[in-house]
Copies of this chain bind each other. A is one copy, B any other.
Amino acid sequence: MTPTDATATAGSAPPAPRITAAGRRTRDRIVRTAAELMFRKGVAGTSIPDVQQAAKVSASQIYHYFGDKSDLVRAVIRHQIERTLEGQRPLLDRLDSFEALRAWCDEAVEVQKRRNCEGGCEIGSLASELVETCELMRGELVAAFDRWEAPIREGLRRMRETGVLVADADVDHLATAMLAAVQGGLLLTQVRRSPEPLRAATDAAIGYVETFAA
């Protein structure tokens, strides 16, 4: 809730709740716009004035919600991991069989085909650009990858519990290998403009998990 937002919605309804909702919408629009710009032009290539112009907000609105660019970038990371996980649901939340693992990877490959293998991974690109900038940023990236890895590990754990995988299968290790394959596969698929690297990488990761089949 800011003077700016109050101004923007002034006179249209009971002040407090409407202003809060409007404030939230403004904040969301800033984050979505920043995320789009940073995905296309990189974080370094996206200035606060760029975001301001594209989101049609004032500088004071941006600085009200985000103390500085670093704050905004961290909100962008959270937004992008949220969108990435959302896009992979419901498959991501039910990785409890080899068929489910394959369906999830097939869908990831299809998404790349639909995009002509352009753009790469929203989170991977942010990670590569930002990981060495500061510990706060790296912490945000660690949290993002942890959120992505959790449902993969959870699915593998259920496979172990239901006897699909052997009892001593290390699901932490397998989930990390799976996420790494997706990340490396997405980068090579982006560079080569071919779905084959992502296909090869995920085939390999699933093939490795299969060596732990009970």
Q: Give me 12 A-to-B residue pairs in the complex whose CB atoms sit less than 8 angstroms apart, sorted by A's number.
A: A42-B44, A44-B45, A127-B190, A142-B191, A142-B192, A145-B188, A173-B203, A174-B200, A174-B204, A177-B204, A180-B185, A184-B201
- Cα distance, A203 to B178, chains bound together (Å): 11
- Cα distance, A188 to B152, chains bound together (Å): 15
Q: A97 within 8 Å of B by Cβ? A: no
Counting every copy of the chain, the complex holds: 2
- Which residues 85-119 of A sit at the B interface, judged by CB distance below 8 A? 118-119
Contact B191 A176 (CB under 8 A): no
Size category, A interface: 35 or more
A128-B124, A182-B184 are known contacts. Are A138 and B42 too (CB-CB below 8 A)? no
Residues of chain B within 8 A of A187, CB atoms compared:
124, 127-128, 180, 183-184, 187
Residues of chain B within 8 A of A22, CB atoms compared:
none
